A and B are shown apart, each in its own frame.
Chain A
């Protein structure tokens, strides 16, 4: 017994080093990728923004079927038609993921009409872009329900079947703001932090489940309607991300079963700094980088 513990203790640093080397090698080399030919992909918030590009990318990479959920039928219809023209079977359903009953009902309809979902992409998100004191209570709750609880309901609806079949993937389009908050988006930061924890906990829980994986993508500010008007102080140093690139990297991560993806890679330093520096130092850095004022010009979607 003592020898076993001692063995584990001695092996531990080597495991750490090996994992680091493995991650480094993976970063630089091309890996074996999962074939999407048998996969049915469900994308929440699939009508526009990153969701739309994700749908196109999954279709391009050979997914068998793509299903779009969203709250605006017009956008869903447009995206659906566009994808159908490329030859991939595509369906859409109007569904507000913040509404639990609606999620479960639509999930049942989906199973009957289309079949089992094997890749679930939780992309639906809203942001109101106001400070706490200016925020309306119902708006705060709506953000929590769509961005966080919606993810609970969709996962509860589809994960059991994935586990039964030993085949599935849960994807979450999160944000770097879940790890590094900013003023002016307190509802969004709170909900994305919750969402991140959910995915981390789920990822740890599913490590022992064969065939089922998780991917969490944490992009920096992306050039979409959702954060329209948000202004970064050094746009050349930290340019807004291209939604096509985000979608591409997301699908790549799904196919290589990568657990966490931070975009761009340099955002890792932000996270490291946050856990290293005292609070007052971080505040100075935030001020300099313009984090305190970037939401002042926010317009978003109306």
Chain B
């Protein structure tokens, strides 16, 4: 009998959750402050990682930039310092004009670390270094990603493995490194930057789709674990952008006629949307919104209908031009080397 009571209560809670979700959609919740908090961004040297770093810098978070490429990492760090300085100048002016001595505002800093997130030992040792030099981490942005750009049967095994390691397994290590302290303090935020290719696959990039699905599977499972342990201070956000115009998938295109309706996303727009989701503790964000619709359609339609939908959109083979272009680029490189 108490089972039915419980069932009824669950139904009420579900309805309430739906109402609250609708409410949040209508009335934007207030964004939380991240000023002074420590934010780790993997893959910070370029693409979305760099833009995330700049957005967090504007909100005066302390930044810890991780990337395998030290040069681009330092470039990002310099941009961040520039933003910090720009924000300091107006306050200095006000101080000078006022003539009253002010308490110096908190001075956020940026730290850079060069490491391969695919290597477990590197992640753990660098995390230890971060804890010593910067302090406890409040936000973790798992953003690092690579793509092999080969058909499955032509792809060297090492590249397949590398895609899985960087895009998926690295999340194990970064999370294991920082989550224990977050759990202890019951405070933290973990962001997983995945892809719409983590919600529906496309032909030709089996390893990339597998790694992004894996990252999402990990994120969801971890969400449930944190929920089950009742640590409500730890938030998680999953970012699933449609193809972003960062050059990673240069040459990828859907059907010519559909393209005006679904152009590749501008990276700035994508990051802006993601930042809003992160600062309002939204569990998941798909950009643009049509991705939600496609995801829903995919769950209710039989596979043959899904294939029709994909073919109509040109999504089933959209990676083939990218792969062809990549192969051409490699051939050119080989030709140059040959000469």
Whole-angstrom CA separation of A260 from B284 in the bound complex: 26
Cβ-defined contact, B210 with A148, below 8 A:
yes
Cβ-defined contact, A186 with B222, below 8 A:
yes
Contact of A149 among B6, B161, B212, B217 (CB under 8 A): B161
Residues of A close to B299: CB separation below 8 A:
268, 271-272, 274-276
Q: Is B175 an interface residue (CB 8 A)?
A: yes
Name which residue of chain A comes closest to B215, CB basis: A190
Whole-angstrom CA separation of A204 from B173 in the bound complex: 32
Residues of A close to B227: CB separation below 8 A:
183, 283, 286, 292
Given contacts A144-B164, A190-B217, A194-B211, whether A259 and B303 have CB atoms under 8 Å apart is yes
Within 8 A of B (CB), among A32-69: none
The total of chain B residues at the interface (CB under 8 A) is 72
Cβ-defined contact, B164 with A148, below 8 A:
yes
Residues of A close to B161: CB separation below 8 A:
149
Q: Is A299 an interface residue (CB 8 A)?
A: no
A87-112 CB mask vs B (1 if < 8 Å, else 0) is: 00000000000001000000000000
Whole-angstrom CA separation of A181 from B226 in the bound complex: 13
Residues of B close to A159: CB separation below 8 A:
152-153
Contact of A182 among B173, B209, B221, B316 (CB under 8 A): B221
Whole-angstrom CA separation of A160 from B215 in the bound complex: 29
Cβ-defined contact, B224 with A204, below 8 A:
no
Within 8 A of A (CB), among B137-182: 152-153, 157, 160-161, 164, 168-169, 172-173, 175-176, 179-180
Q: Is A288 an interface residue (CB 8 A)?
A: yes
Cβ-defined contact, A201 with B157, below 8 A:
no
Given contacts A181-B220, A285-B14, whether A204 and B210 have CB atoms under 8 Å apart is no
Given contacts A271-B299, A275-B298, whether A193 and B213 have CB atoms under 8 Å apart is yes
Whole-angstrom CA separation of A87 from B154 in the bound complex: 39
Cβ-defined contact, A194 with B168, below 8 A:
yes
Whole-angstrom CA separation of A200 from B222 in the bound complex: 24
Given contacts A189-B221, A190-B221, A201-B201, whether A275 and B296 have CB atoms under 8 Å apart is yes
Residues of A close to B224: CB separation below 8 A:
181-183, 283, 286, 291-292
Given contacts A12-B312, A133-B176, whether A204 and B201 have CB atoms under 8 Å apart is yes
Given contacts A144-B169, A201-B204, A291-B224, whether A12 and B308 have CB atoms under 8 Å apart is yes
How many Å from the CB of A97 to the closest CB on chain B?
Answer: 13
Q: Is A279 an interface residue (CB 8 A)?
A: yes
Cβ-defined contact, B203 with A8, below 8 A:
no
Whole-angstrom CA separation of A140 from B316 in the bound complex: 32
Contact of B304 among A22, A156, A200 (CB under 8 A): A22
* Stretch with Cβ within 8 A of B (4 or more), from A13-21, A72-80, A121-129, A240-248: A13-21
Q: Is A185 an interface residue (CB 8 A)?
A: yes
Residues of A close to B214: CB separation below 8 A:
144, 148, 190-191, 193-194, 197
Given contacts A149-B161, A185-B221, A278-B18, whether A137 and B302 have CB atoms under 8 Å apart is no
Contact of B316 among A20, A160, A207, A292 (CB under 8 A): A207
Residues of A close to B200: CB separation below 8 A:
200
Residue among B17, B161, B224, B303 with the highest chain A CB neighbour number at 10 A? B224
How many Å from the CB of B157 to the closest CB on chain A?
Answer: 6
Whole-angstrom CA separation of A196 from B303 in the bound complex: 14
Cβ-defined contact, A183 with B221, below 8 A:
yes
Q: Is A202 an interface residue (CB 8 A)?
A: yes
Residues of B close to A276: CB separation below 8 A:
296, 299
A134-173 CB mask vs B (1 if < 8 Å, else 0) is: 0001001100100011001101100110000000000000
Contact of A186 among B21, B206, B213, B218 (CB under 8 A): B218
How many Å from the CB of A128 to the closest CB on chain B?
Answer: 13
Q: Is B68 an interface residue (CB 8 A)?
A: no
Q: Is A114 an interface residue (CB 8 A)?
A: no
Cβ-defined contact, B301 with A205, below 8 A:
no
How many Å from the CB of A148 to the closest CB on chain B?
Answer: 6
Cβ-defined contact, A132 with B17, below 8 A:
no
Cβ-defined contact, A19 with B20, below 8 A:
no
How many Å from the CB of A31 to the closest CB on chain B?
Answer: 14
Residue among A20, A140, A152, A268 with the highest chain B CB neighbour number at 10 A? A152
Within 8 A of B (CB), among A1-27: 5, 8-9, 12, 15-16, 19-20, 22-23
Given contacts A132-B179, A196-B213, A197-B213, whether A16 and B222 have CB atoms under 8 Å apart is no
How many Å from the CB of B281 to the closest CB on chain A?
Answer: 10
Name which residue of chain B comes closest to A293, CB basis: B228
B305-321 CB mask vs A (1 if < 8 Å, else 0) is: 10111101000100000
Q: Is B82 an interface residue (CB 8 A)?
A: no
Cβ-defined contact, B21 with A280, below 8 A:
yes
Residues of A close to B6: CB separation below 8 A:
288
Residues of B close to A196: CB separation below 8 A:
213
Name which residue of chain A comes closest to B197, CB basis: A197
Name which residue of chain B comes closest to A197, CB basis: B213
Contact of A204 among B14, B296, B304, B316 (CB under 8 A): B316
How many Å from the CB of B176 to the closest CB on chain A?
Answer: 6
Given contacts A19-B302, A156-B153, whether A193 and B14 have CB atoms under 8 Å apart is no
Q: What are 15 A-B contacts with C-beta separation under 8 Å?
A: A16-B301, A20-B301, A22-B304, A144-B164, A156-B157, A178-B217, A181-B220, A183-B227, A189-B221, A190-B218, A194-B164, A197-B210, A198-B207, A204-B203, A277-B17
- Additional A-B contact list (15), CB under 8 Å, known A132-B172, A137-B120, A183-B225: A15-B308, A20-B301, A22-B302, A132-B179, A148-B210, A181-B217, A184-B228, A191-B214, A193-B213, A201-B209, A275-B295, A278-B283, A280-B20, A281-B14, A281-B18
Chain A residues with a Cβ under 8 A of chain B: 5, 8-9, 12, 15-16, 19-20, 22-23, 100, 131-133, 137, 140-141, 144, 148-149, 152-153, 155-156, 159-160, 178, 181-186, 189-198, 200-205, 207, 259-260, 268, 271-272, 274-281, 283-288, 291-293
